[in-house]
Amino acid sequence: MAADCESREEMWSLAGATALVTGGSKGIGHAIVEELARFGARVHTCSRNAAELEECRRRWEEKNLQVTVSVCDVSIRADREKLMETVRQTFDSKLDILLVKSPFIQIT
């Protein structure tokens, strides 16, 4: 019996899911943002570097990926609080996936 071959997009869908990925302008954070968005999730990401973040946002927009961005230093409590308010408004209080790239942050 032949195996039914499906593409990964058919096998895995995050359509309707929302995600917050910190540190999404480069490295593994950037790769995670793109992968989640390719699977259909709406993603919000942040970075301390506004210029890098804006360049990424433009590239994601060109690829038709649903990614929103904001500048944030997650080591600063006030920035984290502002980020969470932005995410709350962006995703209408629904957050399915949270990926925080910092060993120094305690989520409370």
Q: pLDDT tens, 32-87?
A: 999 999 999 999 999 999 999 999 999 999 999 999 999 999 989 999 999 999 99
What is the predicted pLDDT for the residue at 11? 74
In CATH, what is the architecture of 14-99? 3-Layer(aba) Sandwich (3.40)
What is the predicted pLDDT for the residue at 12? 81
Phi/psi at 71 (nearest 5 deg)? -80, 130
Domain range list for the chain:
14-99
What is the predicted pLDDT for the residue at 31? 97
Taking alpha carbons only, the member of 33, 32, 30, 38 closest to residue 13 is 38
- The yes-or-no verdict on residue 1 having pLDDT over 60 is no
What is the predicted pLDDT for the residue at 13? 93
Tokens of 26: 């480069």
Taking alpha carbons only, the member of 20, 32, 17 closest to residue 69 is 20
